[in-house]
Amino acid sequence: MIKFLENPTLYMNVKLHDKLPVTFSAKNLVKKVAKKGNCTAFLEHHLGNIVMRVLAQLGYKRLKYPTINCKETALKFIAISLKACNPNKDESYRQKYK
């Protein structure tokens, strides 16, 4: 604050973040967010990195199941990968889908 007050012109062209990080309390978190009806921030906060990693793997591996089309292959790969990354399940469940 002191640096800002000494020379505020340094901070005239600073680009601010588009979004602020979301903070959630652990107590009844899912129920509170679901009741508000705005689950986008919650899902983005908790699934953002996982989904980006899964989509990167999909682009790198470029899988194609022979009996289904490309869109269904991508959806199936994403679903299986999300099951493999689910931290709420035990290790044997995650290992099964890996």
pLDDT digits (tens, 9 = 90+) for 48-75: 888 888 888 888 888 888 888 888 988 8
**88 belongs to a structural domain:** yes
Which structure tokens are listed for 78? 């994403």
**10 belongs to a structural domain:** no
Give the domain extent around 97. 47-98
The four Cα atoms 49, 54, 58, 63 give a dihedral, to 10 degrees, of 180
**84 belongs to a structural domain:** yes
Average pLDDT over residues 40-50: 74
Q: Which helix (H) or strand (E) holds 59?
A: helix 40-61
**89 belongs to a structural domain:** yes
Residue 28 has pLDDT above 60, yes or no: no
**2 belongs to a structural domain:** no
Q: What does pLDDT average to over the chain?
A: 79
How many independent structural domains does the chain possess?
A: 1
**25 belongs to a structural domain:** no
Q: Which residues contact 11 (CB under 8 A, 6 or more apart)?
A: 4
Which structure tokens are listed for 7? 């020379």
Average pLDDT over residues 11-17: 79
| CA 29/CA 44 separation, integer angstroms | 15
Q: Which residues contact 4 (CB under 8 A, 6 or more apart)?
A: 11
Residue 47 has pLDDT above 70, yes or no: yes
pLDDT computed for residue 22 by the predictor: 60
**12 belongs to a structural domain:** no
